[in-house]
Every structure is written in structure tokens, then in C-alpha cells.
Structure 1
Amino acid sequence: MTNDMSIADYLAEGGKLSSPDNAPPLYRAELMRMMSSFVDSELAGSAGFAAAINWAPGIAERIAASRIVLEKADHAERVLDLMGDFGTDTALYNRAHSWAARLDRDAVVDTRRMGGDMRLSVFHYPFEDWTDAVVMNVLMGLATVIQLEEMTHASYTPYAEVIRSVLPREKRHMELGLEGLKKLAATDEGRGAAQKAVAYWHPRVAETFGPAVSERFARLSRFGLRHSENEALRTRWRADAGSVLEDCGLKTPVAA
């Protein structure tokens, strides 16, 4: 960066930051919000799947669920360590919210986050049973892969590097879910239960990409923290999810 170029101009032209030292206040705030959303979602996801372990129909499924629980907590810790560089009290963070807490199944959740709890809205909804957990894991797993691929290009290099390191494991979480979904969909009864779960989770996962028109995206784009608009990511997810569901003999719900 040249002496006559501002940090904002540097970032707008594709520059990268490697420490909190030169981060402008608004950039810091947006980056912290982004990292908090990741950490809170991973902690809530881990806590949610912990309850599903005992629903697993076999040892292989139990191991898969346990792996997801462990690795999501590990991913949260990695990004939380980065937040510590900005002054976050990492020792207290885990006690900030009840990560296993869920709302009613029919609750209307504000996608703009809730009371300091920055988890994505989908992680406020509870699982009903094993099939429910598997379907959610597949649909949200596909969304997570797309959303994290976007983050691998973030202008804050330490964050992008952590996301690149956890992305293969998040892909594997989705694949483990898909293995389970194919088993469930192999029978008429299982396919019917899975289709019911798809109808419930599909629109809720779609909401995690945010509004189609977002003033915040424009700001994040200028900072180099985001590059693809929300609707472009959601459209990609709809296509990926549709293909996966079709392969399992399941139908994609009609968008409202």
C-alpha cells in the first residue's frame, strides 16, 4: 500500500490485511460481526447435533454425528481465537448464550440475528428426530460450503486462511449427511419422512443467505469481505440442493 492510498481505497482495490492494527473501525466492526456469526452458528450447530447422536440408527451414523459435533466446536474455537486478537474475551464467550437453546418449530425467527446471539436463523429451530437432523444437515451443509467458499476470499487474511482449513471438513459433514439421507430415502416410509423434513428445512435454509437486496453487502464488498451477492449464492444453493434431492428421489419445495 502506497503512502497516499487510504486503507479504504486499498481494500476496495483488492488489498489484504493481516492483523487488527491497520483495520479501520467500521471494517473491524463488520469483520467481527462476520466472525461472530460463524462462531455462534458453529457452536449452535454442534450443540444441536449433540442431541441427535442418541437418535442414530447405527454405530456408523452415531460416529458421523459425533464427528460433526466435535469438528464444528473446533472450527468455532479457531475463529474465536482470531476474535481474541481484536479484544474479545474468549474465555467467557462460550458462556455468553445457551447454544443448545431452540425456539418452537413454528416460530418466526428474525434473520437479522437475535439479542447478541449471532447464529444464523436456521440454528434457532429444533430437530424432531434423526430424519429431521439428517435432512437439515444436508441442506444446510450445502449452504455452508457455498457461504464458506465466499469467505475464503475475504480480505482479512487470517480469517480466510482458517476458513480454507475448515472448508474440507464442512464438505465432509454434508457428505456424511448425504450418505444418511440416501439410506433413509431407500424405502417408501423413509422417503416420505424425508420429504416432510425437506418441506420444513428448505425455506429456512434459504433464508440464511440474507435479503436479495442488501445495503450491507455493498459495504462488505468495498471492504473486500464479500464478493458475490446474496441472491447469487442462494441461486447456486437452490441448484445444488435440487440436484441432491432429485438424486435421492425427493422433490424441491416450490419457493414462496
Structure 2
Amino acid sequence: MEETVSFECLSEHQKYELFMERIEAGEKIEADDWMPDEYRMTLIKLISMHGISEIMGALPEKEWVPKAPTLKRKLGIMAKVQDEMGHGQLLLRVTEDLMKPLGKTREDIMNDLFSGNLKFHNVFHMEAPTWADAGLIGWLVDGAAIITQTNMLSASYGPYARALKRICAEEVFHAQHGEAIIMALAEGTKEQREMVQASINRWWEALLMFFGPGDASTTGTSKQDITIKYKIRTKTNEQLRQDFFSKYIPRVLSLGLTVPDETMYFDNQANKWIYQQPDWARFKQIVKNNGPKSQERLKLRRKSYEMNSWVREALGSGS
């Protein structure tokens, strides 16, 4: 009778091979399953950044809650802010389970944010000075997020894939909310149309940067290769950026608006958009908390965290 060797008796290499067989077979990895350190750390970095970005991403729109032009718009943007905060809490909970074996907690995540060790998305370091910016965040920034997140709906890590199902469904409503604002302004007065165009001009570089640097051979990064290897996602940064162009450039042009890149066109032979690369050195500075609103928003997040420490203490003590 053939003996069955227990998983615990296998070497690290054998465990890794079995793990990769599960990945290749399309199985979902769960929080309590064995996983290689590289996989765990990749997930922790990705999901904690995603979760914190959802929370920090609510702040530019939160600024517009008291200034929204109508009660209907005020209620809409309030609901969106609430959703984004909920997404952040859901994702941080997923991250906590991954961090438990390392003896780390959610407090470590927040401390990493405040110390600069945990970065949040480049777009949420930017200014939103007009109502058109509030609409554009919903329309194009959330549109870019949908493209990125739907690419991970079949992620090999089960808890993240399941969380993304709910998040992506709600992000669709957020994009429609933003599009409705932009459509109303684009069909409005000359001043309103100019406001929308100025917003597109202001956000264009940040939108290009949204998906991250492209080819690893030119940028020196291999993080996207690791996530593809472990089937956390299926497309590269550049493929996602091209998907964004194909979906949204026609929509922008259909409203009589333009993108601030005179060199941009679709190359039928190469089957891709040709465009001017953003300043990737500036991107690195922005995500290091040197963007226009980085410190102001971090200060607000830190103040909120400190002011609500009594709630965490009360819940922790069981009282």
C-alpha cells in the first residue's frame, strides 16, 4: 500500500512546486493555505496599497461634498465617498489575514502609510479644484480603476478575488456618477465646457501614470511580472493602459473634448495607441508623498486616525 507523505514533511521546494501546480490549475489560494513568501509579500503590498488608495481616494471627493451644486449631486458624491471608504476597510481586512503569520496588524499598515513605507495611488496626490475634477475622478479615474481591477477578478488569491467582485460592481456606479457630471457640464455653457477641458488637461499625465511604468526592460521593474507569474493578474501595465485608451479616447472626443497630446494616434498596423510618455521621474516623486496634495491629505488621515483611537481601544478591550 502506497504511503502518503504529509505536506509538513515536504521540502520548501516541493511545497512550492505543489503550490504552483495549484496556481496553474486555476485553484484559489486561501488565507490559511501554505504560500511562498514572495507570493505573500506581493499580495500584502498590492492589496494594502489598493485598500489605502481607496481610503485616500475618497479625500479629493470629500472636499466637494459641501460644495456640490445641487442636493442630488451632494447625495451622490456622499454615497460614493462612503462606498470608497467601505472598499478600503474590506481590503485592509483581507490584508490583515495575510499579515497575521508575520505578527503584524492593521496598525502596522497605518503606521507604514504615515511613515511613507506604504504608498497610495499617484492620482490621489493631485488637486481637485473644480466641480469638473470631481466628475472626472468618477468618470476617468474610476474608469481606469475598473480596467485594472476587472483584470484581477480571477486572481489566484481567493479572498482578494471575492472582494473585487463587490468592489468592481460598485465602481461601475461610480463611473456612471462621474460620467453624468461630465456630460451635464459638457452640454452646458461655454464656461462649463472649458472647465471640463481644463480638468482633462490637468489630470491627463496622472491618468497615464495610473497603470504604472510599462516594459520592465526599459523601467527596470519586474513587479508586474511577479503578479502575472502567480496569476494575480493577466495583463501588463502597458496592456491595461492601451485598454483604457481604446475605451475612453473615443468617449472624450465624442463630447467635443480633446486630450492634451498632439502626438497621440492609433497605429492600425501595430494595433496600439502611440502617445507621449509621462514623466516617470515625477511619478516616483509623487508616490513618495511629494505630490501637490500629498502632505495635506496625509495630515488629514493621520488626524482622523488619532482622533478615533478611543474607538479602536474600546473595541479592543471588549467594552
Q: TM-score, normalization: structure 2?
A: 0.70
TM-fit CA distance, 1:138: 1.3
Deviations 1:171-199 (A, max 9, x none): 11010010000111112111111101101
CA distance in 2 between partners of 1:124 and 1:229 (Å): 23
Q: 1:61 to 1:95 in 2, by over 3 A?
A: farther
Alpha-carbon contact 2:109-2:118 (below 8 Å) kept: no
Report what 2:195 is aligned to.
Answer: 193
TM-fit CA distance, 1:245: 1.2
**Greater radius of gyration (CA):** 2
In the alignment, is residue 224 of structure 1 matched against residue 225 of structure 2?
no
Aligned amino acid, residue 134 of structure 2: A
CA distance in 1 between partners of 2:49 and 2:43 (Å): 10
Instruction: Specify the SS of the correspondent of 2:66.
Output: helix
Give RMSD over aligned pairs: 2.1
TM-fit CA distance, 1:54: 1.7
Report what 1:64 is aligned to.
Answer: 76
Match of 2:242 among 224, 235, 242: 235
Aligned amino acid, residue 33 of structure 2: D
Alpha-carbon contact 2:150-2:168 (below 8 Å) kept: yes
Q: TM-score, normalization: structure 1?
A: 0.86
Aligned amino acid, residue 255 of structure 2: C
Aligned amino acid, residue 31 of structure 1: L
TM-fit CA distance, 1:117: 3.1
TM-fit CA distance, 1:38: 0.9
Instruction: Specify the SS of the correspondent of 2:22.
Output: helix
Report what 1:253 is aligned to.
Answer: 260
CA distance in 1 between partners of 2:64 and 2:108 (Å): 26
Structure with the larger RCO, 1 or 2 (CA within 8 Å, 6+ apart): 1
User: Number of residue pairs matched?
Assistant: 240
Instruction: Specify the SS of the correspondent of 1:177.
Output: helix
In the alignment, is residue 176 of structure 1 matched against residue 181 of structure 2?
no
* Unpaired runs of at least 5, structure 1: 99-113
Aligned amino acid, residue 237 of structure 1: F
TM-fit CA distance, 1:95: 6.7
CA distance in 2 between partners of 1:118 and 1:37 (Å): 6
Report what 1:89 is aligned to.
Answer: 105
Instruction: Specify the SS of the correspondent of 1:151.
Output: coil
Q: State the percentage of identical aligned residues.
A: 23
CA distance in 1 between partners of 2:126 and 2:51 (Å): 17
Report what 2:206 is aligned to.
Answer: 204
CA distance in 2 between partners of 1:218 and 1:207 (Å): 18
Aligned amino acid, residue 41 of structure 1: S
Alpha-carbon contact 1:12-1:222 (below 8 Å) kept: no
Match of 2:61 among 45, 49, 53: 49
* Unpaired runs of at least 5, structure 2: 8-13, 217-221, 262-274, 277-319
Deviations 1:176-225 (A, max 9, x none): 01000011111211111110110111221121111111322221111111
Q: 1:229 to 1:37 in 2, by over 3 A?
A: same
Report what 1:162 is aligned to.
Answer: 163
Deviations 1:45-64 (A, max 9, x none): 11221111122111111111
